[in-house]
Amino acid sequence: MKVAVFSATGDQGLAQVHALVKAGHTVTAIARRPEAAALPEGVTPCAADYADHDSLRAAMDGAEAVLLNLPSTSFQAAEPLIDATRVIAKAAAESPTLQTLVFNTSMPVPKVRMNIAAQDARLEMREILLASGAPVIVVQPVVYIDNLLKAWAWPEIDRENLIHYPHEETLEVCWICHADLASLMVAAAERPHLAGRVLDVGGPEAIRGPDLARRLGAVWNRPLRFQSMPVATCGEVMAAVFKASASLDSATLAREMTLKYTWYNDPVDRPFYVDMAPVLQDLPVRLTSLEDWAARQTLPETV
């Protein structure tokens, strides 16, 4: 198929571009500066901006499938992205070629609004797309294992052998890697009959923090340990890390991250847990084990 990938130069989008190429599809990589990423050979770069609605429509022209990733509403103002979602939804509904649009919420999304800005924005985007009449499949991933290699987590792992994360020690988390999310989205794009479905997706098993540290430590040959970070501290850490790139002010960002991670730890809703058996019946993808993911990583250097 001819497949257009939005936010194709980000971690999630770029993994999807690679998965599509591997599956034999013809790929258009959409981003503000697509030349900034090392795109695979044969991929067509397409410059577009979420604030430029004409560019969004043009980027989708002729696509048979669209993989829609949007910038994070945890760090960026939601309204411009919601407006862009309306434009993309309308263009998808009117397209004579489009067979599937797969929307990646990039995070767990509840069924109802919870006064958590990031989640409420994603829920509104989901509603807009599903109500558009376009053949939409929604994929809602839990937390990414790749986050452990990012600036808010890796330095403590590297310097102190400490996984310091805002999860209760008993929280069962179905960590998913970017590569597996990409495989699931490609599989969804290839199955138009799933239009209208909302699929929560995660990794192959639920893992508690102490077990995560023990198992990663065995692969990376480090005496890793896990310590639960207070959710308020997490908000402060994330606000500091994203201060330069976020459009939200630091106080708002910290408050919203605290609300979000309070919900993520909810023992009743369990937003980080998902039974993948039914999903894999519809999307027959081989998921990556924690150990295989860890063994494949080139670990970053801490500055």
Distance (Å, whole) CA 33 – CA 38: 11
At 144 the pLDDT is 97
pLDDT in tens, 59-80: 999 999 999 999 988 777 889 9
At 278 the pLDDT is 97
Q: pTM here?
A: 0.94
Give me the long-range contacts of 143-148 (CB less than 8 A, separation at least 24): 143/107, 143/173, 143/175, 143/176, 143/264, 143/272, 144/11, 144/175, 144/176, 144/177, 144/178, 144/181, 145/175, 145/176, 145/177, 145/203, 145/290, 145/293, 146/11, 146/177, 146/178, 148/216
CB atoms within 10 A of CB 113: 11
Q: Which residues pair with 144 in a beta bridge?
A: 176
Distance (Å, whole) CA 162 – CA 64: 45
At 39 the pLDDT is 95
Strands of 198-201's sheet in order across: 44-47, 26-31, 2-5, 65-69, 100-104, 136-141, 198-201
- 113, 252 in Cβ contact below 8 A? no
At 231 the pLDDT is 86
Stretches where the chain sits below pLDDT 50 are none
At 303 the pLDDT is 57
Q: What percent of the chain has pLDDT over 70?
A: 100
At 265 the pLDDT is 93
pLDDT in tens, 244-279: 777 777 887 788 888 989 999 999 999 999 999 999
Q: Give every CB contact of residue 302 below 8 A, 6+ residues apart in sequence.
A: 154, 155, 158, 159
Token pair of 192, please? 């138009």
At 240 the pLDDT is 78
Angle, alpha carbons 57-32-255 (nearest 5°): 100
In the chain the domains, ranked by start, together with CATH numbers, are 2-142+178-202+274-287 (3.40.50.720)
At 36 the pLDDT is 84
From residue 228, alpha-carbon distances to 19, 78, 158, 172, 225 in Å are: 34, 29, 17, 13, 10
